[in-house]
Amino acid sequence: MPFTAAVPLLAGSLLLAAAAPSAAVPNQIGGLGGVLVGGGVALGAYDYPIEANKKITVERYLLKPGEIIRWGERPSTIVVIPQGGDLVNYPSCDLQYPMAAGQANWLPRSQYAWSLEGVTANQTDAPVEVVAIISDVPGVAQRVDQLHREGGEGPPEPDPQPASGCPQGAAASPVEVVSGIASAGARPATIDHDQVAVHRYTLPAGSSTGWHFIPDPGFILPVSGTVTMRQDCGAGTPIQPGQARLHSADADPHLLVNTGTETAEFFAVIFSIPNPYPVALPDTVPGPPPSDCPESLLD
């Protein structure tokens, strides 16, 4: 599976050229030209809370030296992933711990972080890009058995250290990459040391991903065009911009197809990719289509 480098992506840059309709051409999702928006190694295990009709948002920050991000302005659970630089997180104003580049941190992260109040600060002399995956559903602290362990074994990593207060600084403004309302509730489980990642894909008019299944839990958020998910011989379920459609990490093959006349663009947020660092495209395994489907629905 090829690796992809993170590239800047602002909400205003999501422009797509129209494409003429063509015959459906199977194309595995890993070969759709996926672009890594952001990702990192999960710092401990976690069950990410998602509820039907609740919003899921992917945001980006460019945190300048001395700036802070203030979490907890609304009930939520957040995955914070610094890209290319280290940060310091203050889950409360009397505790602190480092957030290293390339780590996916859960807020709340440990048994000490009982709420989402507190700040994350850039105390370096260079800007640090941050990707945040936000569910508008409050989470719970990690259990002791879910805490991060070096090499996956041994005791948990050291406890947060005392702090003499939260740092003051200008609050960085987020840029929304994509958001959607969840179609159903779930608790995607992430394993310690696995990857959490956001990828962007384009699907030309008339093309499909081919029948496949993804063994890693996550969801799909379209931003342009309509992507239809087929899991059986029916017409499928259209996923519109503004929606977040869960896909299960099971052995049931499904197909994403663009039946429109314009290129569709969508994001995939995956919670437990068992790949080496840096984050590669999500695992996909080609799967056989349903045996009793008509020819017209097989691609």
Give the model confidence (pLDDT) of 47-100 as tens digits.
899 999 999 999 999 999 999 998 877 778 899 999 989 999 998 788 899 999
pLDDT of residue 17: 26
Residues 263 and 202: beta-carbon distance below 8 Å: yes
- What is the mean predicted confidence (pLDDT) over 100-125? 76
Task: Quickly name the fold that domain 16-40+189-297 has.
Answer: Jelly Rolls (2.60.120)
Q: Please, which pLDDT band fits residue 11 given cuts at 50, 70 and 90?
A: very low
Burial class of residue 179 (count of CB atoms within 10 Å of its CB; 0-12, 13-18, 19+):
buried
Q: Where in the chain is the domain with CATH 2.60.120.10?
A: 16-40+189-297, 45-176
pLDDT: which is higher, 265 or 94:
265
pLDDT: which is higher, 176 or 256:
176
What is the model's pTM? 0.83
- What is the mean predicted confidence (pLDDT) over 253-281? 83
pLDDT digits (tens, 9 = 90+) for 164-222: 888 999 999 999 999 999 999 988 888 998 999 998 989 999 888 888 777 778 889 99
Number of H helices, E strands in the chain: 0, 22
Backbone angles phi, psi at 295, to 5 degrees: -55, -35
Strands 95-99 and 128-135: unpaired
pLDDT digits (tens, 9 = 90+) for 207-238: 888 887 777 788 899 999 989 988 777 778 89
How is residue 31 written in tokens? 């070969």
Which CATH number is associated with domain 45-176?
2.60.120.10
93-103 as b/e: b if 16+ CB within 10 A: eebbbebeebb
Name the CA dihedral angle for 115, 117, 122, 127, rounded to a multiple of 10 degrees: 100
